[in-house]
Amino acid sequence: MTETLFLSDSDVAGLADPADYVDAVRDAYRQRGEGAPAEPRTKLLNESPPGMFTAYAAVLPETGAMGGYMYSAGFADADAWFVTPLFDADTGEPLALIDGARMNPFKTGAAGAVGVDALAREDASTLAVIGSGAQARGQLRATATVRDFDEVRVFSPTEANRESFAADADDWLDADVEAVPSSTAAVEGADVVVTATNASEPVFDSADLADGAHVTAMGQYNPEKHELDAETIERAVYVPDLRDRVTQDAGSFLHALEEGVVTEDHVHAELGDVVAGNAPGRVSEDDVTVFDSGGTGIETAAAAYMLYERASERGLGTEIEFAAASDALTGE
């Protein structure tokens, strides 16, 4: 038997701030760039009732942890459930089982922020956010820790949602936050653009994107979803979280491939390679850069281990027991 820490949603709440997630996730991507194993998601679909079961994982050797997400969405109650198993990378023993929903916008936002830090211009001061849900909020909170923005423009199709988002962000962010009536108004002249939607069509026109801008796109984890048009992919120094994911479910890149404007050789490097210094990010101030963030076990395992360590230090969580296979399989 080994003792494993179960962390409930209330245990996870307030354990870390956005900058803590960004630091953990940046280091995890550095490890990926230095050879840490990670695989794209596996997604299984259920027809009746309609639903999805997804899993992905990574090993972080220097952290000494391995884990990832398993989650379901849809089904009869049309809700989602996130479970994060975390293991010791030295012994293989289970360290923690975490109710992972609360950390989702933070760890995904942290991945986006690492992309901004690695690829955006150092003097970036204007941010466009397209989307107004939990993921957009997570992206904004994390991205604001890596660049000092003077101006933030928010667009989503529902006026009440974008107004509420902007008002909330204006309370805590040291920048001028404005809800704008169109994606064009958000994107024109922006130094950094974050798209956090579930759109199946492009959410802005490449012609609106200034030379030198960086785009973090995180709603492209399905071949049918492409937040970015083919022209933006063609213009960009294109950096995905995982290269193997690009031809599996990176919707915007797949669409650009279908349009014939890029080939698979258009992939510049994985984010981990840029963070680790194995590949350059932007070469020119005029480069358009794109970080395609579809979700991996890299940020998930990193965030989970950080939460596990903090909970352990504070005496949070409930100890549960797991039986070793050598005992359980023999019935002894």
To the question of pTM greater than 0.85 for the whole model, the response is yes
The domain spans of the chain are 2-104+297-328, 120-292
Instruction: List the one residue out of 302, 313, 238, 308 whose CA is nearest residue 273.
Output: 238
How buried is residue 313: exposed, middle or buried, by Cβ count under 10 Å (0-12/13-18/19+)? exposed
Q: Which CATH superfamily is domain 2-104+297-328 in?
A: ornithine cyclodeaminase, domain 1 (3.30.1780.10)
pLDDT of 2-19, one tens digit each?
999 999 999 999 999 999
- At position 301, the amino acid (one-letter code) is A
In the chain, pLDDT over 70 holds for what percent of residues? 99
Q: What pLDDT shows up at residue 226?
A: 86
pLDDT of 296-309, one tens digit each?
999 999 999 999 99
Q: What pLDDT shows up at residue 1?
A: 86
d(CA 73, CA 75): 6
Integer CA distances (angstroms), 247 to 31, 188, 273, 292, 298, in order: 23, 30, 19, 12, 19
Contacts of 232 (CB under 8 A, 6+ apart): 202, 206, 209, 215, 252, 288, 290
**Which stretches in the chain have pLDDT values below 50?**
none
Q: Are strands 65-74 and 51-60 parallel, antiparallel or unpaired?
A: antiparallel
Q: What pLDDT shows up at residue 219?
A: 75
Q: What pLDDT shows up at residue 133?
A: 93
Q: What pLDDT shows up at residue 332?
A: 56
Which fold does the domain 120-292 belong to in CATH? Rossmann fold (3.40.50)
> Across the chain, what does the average pLDDT equal?
95
Tokens of 27: 């280091």
pLDDT of 35-89, one tens digit each?
999 999 999 999 999 999 999 999 999 999 999 999 999 998 889 999 999 999 9
